[in-house]
Amino acid sequence: MATTTPSILESIFLKRSQQKRKTSPLNYKKRLFVLTEAKITYYEYDFERGRRGSKKGSVDLEKVVCVESVEPEENPPPERQIPNREDSADTEQITIIERFPYPFQIVYEDGPLYVFAPTEELRKRWIHQLKHITRYNSDVAQKYHPRFHQDGQYLCCAQTAKNALGCQLLQGANGIRTNERSQRRSRKPLPPAPTESQAKASKPLPPAPTSPVTSVGPRKVIAMYDFTPMNAQDLLLQKGEEYLLMEESSGQPWLRARDKNGQEGFIPGNYVTEAQDPLEIYEWYSKNTTRTQAEQLLRTEDKEGGFIVRDSSKAGKYTVSVYAKSSGEGIIRHYVVCEAPGNQYYLAEKHLHTSIPELIRYHQHNAAGLISRLKYPVCSVRRAAPSTAGLGYGSWEIDPKDLTFLKELGDGQFGVVKYGKWRGQHEVAIKMIKEGSMSEDEFIEEAKCMMKLSHQNLVQLYGVCTKQRPIFIITEYLSNGCLLSYLKEVRKKVAQGDLLSMCSDVCAAMTYLESKQYLHRDLAARNCLVAEDGTVKVSDFGLSRYVLDDEYTSSLGSKFPVRWSPPEVILYSKFSSKSDVWSYGVMMWEVFTLGKMPYERFNNSEIANQITRGVRLYRPQMATERIYNVMSSCWEEKPDDRPTFRGLHSGILEIMEDM
Ligand code: ADP
Ligand code: MG
């Protein structure tokens, strides 16, 4: 017996004959249309008995390239006419079965299949559902024919071939936004690219693709931040403006782009997005704000209707946090933005919107189920633009004449670190490398690779000055300094949620490094820095390889970070992402003890001994069992038993969301 797949929709529609043979008549028949995940099938329908009759045909949904309504015919017969007022005395039942005034088209290989729905609502529902199911199809069209193919031609553009390329641009190909499509996971392997003659021979032409593999022509992006050129090759960016990318260089920190006036130059890749209406340009959006931070901001503002839109802990979802006052008490609710089929969004009640900005605009005027209407966008500090990978395109060698030294920040393994400005404007930190403390040539070679690492939780390397001695390393400046000192300073004033969010920041950076297969080798609270707004960033990644100091590099040396090292590093110097994971667990412990020294009462050689015998750090008072479980999982004896950073990060985000 054949297994039947459940139907998603079933409706009686009028179907126009497809006239596969030139001589076959143009007729209209009532059919029962049944939609499943894989197919549309249409059947005869026995109205007397209310039963499905024999199958008359079907369309494989994988082959569908476009689903769209069609403009009504000029002088339709009564059967396909919208009933006028007198007729509306007809009962609903009669209307549904007798009149089919709302046509739509399902376009696939053979050309369009025209179907007529009895009500506008039903047409809309089918189009949405079909678009949703076919949204990842490999050939979704960018253009369509708004009018019928009739008497041998399209009424809109007079093209004769049924599979002639559409003449009008769709609102987002098949209703799906470009950014979503470029991230698509294909349900099926993409078909081999057709040869030129095949492509000409038949079928609607494929859409202008958006994936990097097949990309032709420039891609459109929108600036999320202003960017002022730093050198002659850079191009100015204005927030909210559109730019065209001139070459496919995804993953590169600098992209060649053109603005609307035809000016070309390089722009920082992390300043633009392919999204059509990026949230980043709205003041109410705070991407990396956690639940706890959002609550804090809303309470501080203490304004009825204060709100923040932020990324939810569930990947790809957004949360709207709203503040309201009820009898003087501030209350906060977090609403997850829900998605309905057909790319629609809603919050508390089902008021559907086609984009998140539109949904927010709606709720700025209507509470519609929320504790308050969204009256007052609360921003997380002034949203600073992210660091660029270097100070302008291709500039990794920095002219020391462009630097002004303003104050000393501290002293480290390589010498003095100073705060200063580049060209009198951009804040930077300058490491002045004490001669003899670093294998400089090797580092300078590596610096070119390090420059390309760019993440909001990594201290950005801007460049180097290598033409003089001492050489300088120029990085992003973080005004709150080293995390270890910061923890000791903020003691008592800090909540568990803040500590977790610090750990989450570090974990995000480490997940990024892990994905690039780049090892830190010296992760610890002393090598993390704190920004003005409290964001934590990871610093000094990979630098330990260039240290010239046996006390630091030998696992028996007095400066070797034994307290942060797993057994395999202490015993065999075996570094891996999993040894970074161990160090991360220790860093988490430092955070939750507000900067205590790990294994306080032991010296280095005692620690090596204890660790290999299975002794581990205790649970800090500020860490719950759940948090302690996360850090402990980093200290599994066998590297393979430890989680990945990616896994750790989702665990931490889950705890934060439940707090
Ligand atoms: P090293 O890694 O060479 O041992 P550090 O990076 O630890 O040196 O720098 C020494 C001190 O200088 C740090 O503890 C911190 O207080 C300060 N510092 C270093 N880099 C920065 C920076 N980018 N922004 C702000 N302060 C910094
Ligand atoms: Mg350091």
Residues 9-27: tens digit of each pLDDT: 788 899 999 877 767 778 9
Taking CA atoms only, the protein residue closest to ligand 1 atom 27 is: 481
Is pLDDT at 219 greater than 60 in this prediction?
yes
The β-bridge partners of 267 are 255
| For range 571-594, the mean pLDDT | 97
Q: Check pLDDT > 50 for residue 95.
A: no
Highest mean pLDDT among 180-189, 342-351, 612-621 belongs to: 612-621
| C-alpha span between 146 and 270 (Å, rounded) | 38
- Retrieve residue 297's tokens: 């901001």
What confidence category does residue 209 fall into, taking pLDDT thresholds of 50, 70 and 90?
Answer: very low
The radius of gyration of the chain's CA atoms, rounded to the nearest angstrom, is: 31
Task: Examine residue 470 and say whether the peptide bond preceding it is cis (omega within 30 degrees of 0).
Answer: yes
Q: Write down the pLDDT at residue 200.
A: 37
Please tell me the number of the ligand nearest to residue 522's CA.
2
> Hey, what's the torsion of the CAs at 281, 283, 285, 290, to 10 degrees?
140
Class of residue 407 by CB neighbours under 10 A (exposed 0-12, middle 13-18, buried 19+): exposed
Chain segment 413-433, per-residue pLDDT in tens: 999 999 999 988 889 999 999
Q: Which residues pair with 306 in a beta bridge?
A: 376
Q: What is the mean pLDDT of residues 344-364?
A: 86
The pLDDT of residue 226 is above 60: yes
Residues facing 43 on adjacent strands: 32, 55
Ligand 1 centroid – CA 490 distance (Å): 19
Residue 4 pLDDT: 60
pLDDT at 169 over 90: no
Rounded to whole angstroms, how far apart are CA atoms 248 and 182? 14
Q: Which residue has the higher pLDDT, 192 or 399?
A: 399
Q: What is the pLDDT of residue 387?
A: 85
- Per-residue confidence (pLDDT) for residue 188, from 0 to 100: 39
Q: What is the Cα–Cα distance from 420 to 51, expressed in whole angstroms?
A: 81
Between 97-101, 140-144, 242-246, the lowest mean confidence (pLDDT) is in: 97-101
Nearest CA to ligand 1 atom 8: 412
- 527 CA closest ligand 1 atom index: 7
Identified catalytic residue from 522, 550, 640, 641: 522
Mean pLDDT of 18-39: 84
CB contact at 8 A, 272 and 255:
yes
* Atom 23 (ligand 1) nearest CA: 477
**Is position 522 annotated as part of the catalytic site?**
yes
Query: At residue 296, does pLDDT exceed 90?
Result: no
Q: For residue range 110-121, list pLDDT tens digits in order.
A: 789 999 998 887
Q: At what angle do helices 577-592 and 645-658 cross, to 10 degrees?
A: 30
538 CA distance to ligand 1 middle (Å) = 11
Q: What pLDDT, on a 0 to 100 scale, did the predictor assign at position 199?
A: 37
- The pLDDT score that the predictor gives to residue 203 is 37
Q: What is the DSSP string of 107-134?
A: EETTEEEEEEESSHHHHHHHHHHHHHHT
Distances (CA, A) of 368 to 284, 345, 347, 364, 374: 19, 14, 9, 10, 10
Backbone angles phi, psi at 412, to 5 degrees: -135, -170
At residue 181 the predicted structure's pLDDT band, cuts being 50, 70 and 90, is very low
Output the CA 412–ligand 1 centroid distance in Å.
7
Query: Is 22 marked as binding a ligand?
Result: no
Ligand in closest contact with the CA of 546: 1
Supply the pLDDT for residue 51.
Answer: 75
pLDDT (tens digit per residue) in 542-552: 999 999 999 99
Q: Using CA atoms, how far apart are residues 427 and 404, in angstroms rounded to an integer?
A: 10
What percent of the chain stands above pLDDT 70?
88
Q: What is the DSSP string of 204-248?
A: PPPP---STTT--SPEEEEESS-B--SSTTB--B-TT-EEEE-S-
Average pLDDT over residues 587-594: 98
Residue 41: strand pairing partners: 34, 58
For residue 582, the CA-to-ligand 2 centroid distance in Å is 18
Average model confidence (pLDDT) across the chain: 85
What residues line ligand 1, using a CB cutoff of 6 Å? 409-410, 412-414, 417, 429, 431, 459, 475-478, 481-482, 529, 539-540
- Ligand number nearest CA of 460 is 1
Token pair of 151, please? 């008497």
pLDDT in tens, 624-659: 999 999 999 999 999 999 999 999 999 999 999 888
Cα–Cα dist 8/104, whole Å: 18
Please give all residues whose CB falls under 5 A of ion ligand 2, grouped by chain where several chains appear. 412, 527, 540
- Mean of the pLDDT values across residues 282-301? 86
Say how many C-beta atoms besides its own lie within 10 A of residue 49's C-beta: 8
Could you report the per-residue pLDDT of 473-497, keeping only the tens digit for each? 999 999 999 999 999 998 878 899 9
Can you tell me which atom of ligand 1 is nearest the CA of 415? 3
**Which ranges in 343-482 belong to alpha helices (H)?**
356-365, 440-452
| pLDDT of amino acid 187 | 39
* Residue scoring higher pLDDT (575 or 246): 575
Alpha-carbon span 381 to 355, nearest angstrom = 25
- Which residue among 422, 450, 482 is best mutated to probe the pocket of ligand 1, counting the most ligand atoms within 8 A of its Cβ? 482
Which pLDDT band, with edges at 50, 70 and 90, does 50 fall under? low
Q: Is the pLDDT of residue 236 over 60?
A: yes
| Range ranked top by mean pLDDT from 99-113, 204-218, 265-279 | 99-113
Q: What is the pLDDT of residue 250?
A: 62
Give the nearest ligand 1 atom to 484 CA. 14
**C-alpha of residue 512 to centroid of ligand 1, in Å:** 22
d(CA 459, CA 543): 13
Greatest distance between any 2 Cα atoms in the chain: 96
Looking at residue 128, its pLDDT comes to 86
Higher local confidence (pLDDT), 567 or 90: 567
Of 587, 582, 606, which is closest to residue 597 (Cα–Cα)?
587
Give yes or no for residue 267 having a pLDDT over 90: yes
- Chain-centre distance of CA 134, in angstroms? 22
Residues 86-90, mean pLDDT to the nearest whole number: 45
Q: Tens of pLDDT along 55-69? A: 999 999 989 999 999
**Ligand 1: which of 405, 409, 540 to mutate, judged by most atoms within 8 Å of the beta carbon?**
409
pLDDT for the residue numbered 381 = 56
What integer pLDDT is reported at residue 94 of this predicted model? 37
Structure tokens at 598: 């790990």
Which H or E run contains 53?
A: strand 51-60
Residue 206 has pLDDT above 50, yes or no: no
Ligand 1 atom at minimum distance from 428 CA:
23
So what's the pLDDT on residue 439? Answer: 95
Supply the pLDDT for residue 212. Answer: 39
In this structure, the residue with its CA closest to atom 14 of ligand 1 is 482
595: left (phi over 0), alpha (psi -120 to 50) or beta: left
Task: Give the position, in ligand 1's atom list, of the atom nearest the Cα of 411.
Answer: 10
User: Beta strands of 443-542 (E only): which ranges?
Assistant: 461-465, 472-476, 528-530, 536-538
State the closest ligand 1 atom to the C-alpha of 480, by its place in the atom list counted from 1: 25
